[in-house]
């Protein structure tokens, strides 16, 4: 056996950092969909951007 096979490689842990929801505002798109935007952002603009990116979901 070669020496390379004797080493154990540890997988790096995947860390997901969740955003702090207290620093975001909720924009309700429909009864099932909510998006979170910055506190100083315009909710109506965010709603329009959401609909323009997902035209098939627009009701």
Whole-angstrom Cα distance, residue 24 to residue 36?
6
Q: Chain-centre distance of CA 19, in angstroms?
A: 9
Whole-model pTM: value is 0.63
What is the pLDDT averaged over residues 26-40?
95
Both tokens assigned to 22: 């207290």
Q: What is the pLDDT of residues 4-17, one digit of tens each?
A: 566 677 888 889 89
Q: Chain-centre distance of CA 21, in angstroms?
A: 12
Nearest to 26 by CA among 16, 15, 11, 41: 41
Residue 1 has pLDDT above 60, yes or no: no
């Amino acid at each position: 056996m070669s020496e390379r096979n004797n080493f154990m490689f540890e997988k790096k842990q995947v860390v997901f950092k969740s955003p702090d929801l207290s620093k975001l505002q909720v924009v309700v798109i429909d009864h099932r969909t909510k998006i979170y935007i910055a506190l100083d952002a315009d909710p109506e603009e965010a709603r329009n951007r959401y609909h323009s990116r997902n035209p098939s979901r627009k009701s």
